[in-house]
């Protein structure tokens, strides 16, 4: 099977969930119009990233499923595509907050990943992920979700690959180096799988994000990339 994938690059506005979701929806709609069957968005794309504490995070966290996932589920159903959304999640039972990625398909939510390797200020508001590293079976193939620092380590991507992942959807708020990052390329090559990389760009609370959204093929070739600005990178997944 060959299909088109799209990696969305986006600069969210901190705390502006409603306008961020609206802008992301427009980008996802555009990607679907361009023929994409699998569409990724950046880490924490619905809210921004640099929360100081739980008091700030509580104003924007949501349950999964919830209003944000419903917005993208409607698009996925209407467009017959799969969408990966990065968002802050609150667990309905424990009340804990997580930095999460949710895979949504035409029939609704396929699965959720909670980031296992927190970075910078995340421990001030988010718990480490407790769902492991899953691979989700879809008509497009076996899809894994990883968030930013998860891919920094050999082991997390390898766990997904050993479960047969065809595609790793890596959503990130990567910073501090020129991108596409060597880590991204290495994980694709080491595990003989595609890496669809959605990174944010721009400046938030003095933190500079790198952009460099791209699609990386199993041999490490960067098939397409976007340096800065909101936009979409398209590529073929075979």
Alpha-carbon distance of 157 to 189, in angstroms, equals 11
Q: Please enumerate in sequence order all residues whose Cβ is within 8 A of that of 85, keeping only pairs 6 or more positions apart, or say none.
A: 24, 41, 45, 46, 68, 69, 72, 101, 102, 104
At 158 the pLDDT is 98
Q: What is the pLDDT of residues 132-165, one digit of tens each?
A: 999 999 999 999 999 999 999 999 999 999 999 9
Only one residue has tokens 């993208």, namely: 72
Which helix (H) or strand (E) segment is 136 a member of?
strand 135-138
Tell me what the pLDDT averaged over the chain comes to: 97
Cα pseudo-dihedral 170, 176, 177, 180, rounded to 10: 20
**CB-count exposure of residue 231 (10 Å: 0-12, 13-18, 19+):** middle
Q: Please enumerate in sequence order all residues whose Cβ is within 8 A of that of 128, keeping only pairs 6 or more positions apart, or say none.
A: 114, 115, 116, 117, 118
Instruction: Please answer whether residues 170 and 146 qualify as being in contact, where contact means their C-beta atoms are separated by less than 8 angstroms.
Output: yes
Only one residue has tokens 């718990």, namely: 127
Structure tokens at 226: 């976007």
Nearest Cα to 146, choosing from 201, 178, 188, 192?
188
**In the chain, % of residues over pLDDT 90:** 98
- Give yes or no for residue 65 having a pLDDT over 90: yes
At 154 the pLDDT is 95
- Give yes or no for residue 192 having a pLDDT over 90: yes
At 176 the pLDDT is 78
Structure tokens at 1: 């099977």
Active site residues: 43, 115, 148
At 146 the pLDDT is 98
Q: What is the pLDDT of residues 171-190, one digit of tens each?
A: 999 997 899 999 999 999 99
């Amino acid at each position: 099977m060959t299909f088109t994938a799209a990696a969305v690059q986006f600069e969210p506005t901190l705390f502006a969930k409603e306008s961020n979701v609206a802008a992301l929806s427009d980008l996802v709609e555009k990607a679907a119009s361009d023929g994409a069957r699998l569409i990724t968005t950046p880490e924490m794309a619905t809210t921004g990233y640099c929360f100081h504490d739980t008091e700030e995070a509580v104003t924007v966290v949501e349950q999964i499923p919830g209003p944000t996932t419903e917005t993208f589920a409607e698009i996925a159903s209407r467009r017959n595509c799969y969408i990966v959304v990065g968002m802050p999640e609150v667990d309905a039972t424990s009340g804990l907050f997580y930095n999460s990625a949710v895979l949504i398909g035409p029939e609704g939510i396929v699965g959720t990943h909670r980031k296992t390797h927190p970075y910078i200020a995340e421990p001030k508001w988010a718990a480490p992920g407790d769902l492991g590293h899953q691979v989700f079976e879809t008509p497009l193939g076996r899809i894994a979700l990883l968030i930013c620092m998860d891919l920094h380590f050999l082991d997390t991507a390898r766990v997904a690959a050993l479960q047969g992942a065809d595609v790793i959807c890596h959503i990130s708020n990567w910073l501090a180096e020129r991108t596409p990052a060597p880590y991204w390329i290495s994980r694709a090559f080491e595990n003989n799988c595609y890496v669809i990389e959605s990174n944010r760009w721009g400046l938030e609370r003095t933190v500079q994000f790198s952009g460099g959204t791209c699609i990386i093929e199993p041999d490490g070739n960067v098939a397409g990339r976007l340096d800065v600005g909101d936009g979409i990178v398209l590529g073929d997944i075979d």
